[in-house]
Amino acid sequence: MSTRLAAAELLTLRAAWSVDQGNHDDAEIAQAKLYASEMLAFVTDEAIQVFGGMGLMDELPLERMWRDARVERIWDGTSEIQRHIISRAMLRRHGG
């Protein structure tokens, strides 16, 4: 989980750096958003698994994080839209 978190952070920082430099690529930003939101879902799901039934109780903040992680993949562009942006950019680079 820690490795995925670090990877998401690096993708986000790389996309932010590109924006700061004025030469951002929509696909690069979409990759960062897609990976970070999918990583959040994976990590919260794994944490629920570690805690078992207790992970879904209101006493832990994990239950709220788990629900919020699902919403993160929906607003500001669904994961499917991010995948479409990435694939469209890849096709354009290769003449498609």
pLDDT in tens, 43-67: 999 999 998 888 788 888 888 888 8
Cβ contacts of 48 within 8 Å, gap of 6 or more: 55, 56, 62, 63, 66
Res 42 pLDDT > 70: yes
pLDDT band at 28 (very low <50, low <70, confident <90, very high): very high
Distance CA 49, CA 46 (A): 5
Distance CA 85, CA 65 (A): 27
Q: What is the pTM for the complete model shown?
A: 0.81
Which residue, 92, 93, 81, is CA-closest to 29?
Answer: 81
**Proportion of the chain above pLDDT 70, given as a percent:** 97
82: containing domain: 2-93
Domain count, the chain: 1
**Residue 71, burial from CB neighbour count under 10 angstroms (0-12, 13-18, 19+):** exposed
**Helix residue ranges, H only, 1-96:** 2-21, 26-51, 62-72, 79-93
Res 19 pLDDT > 90: yes
Res 96 pLDDT > 70: no
Average pLDDT over residues 65-83: 81
Say which CATH number the domain at 62 has: 1.20.140.10
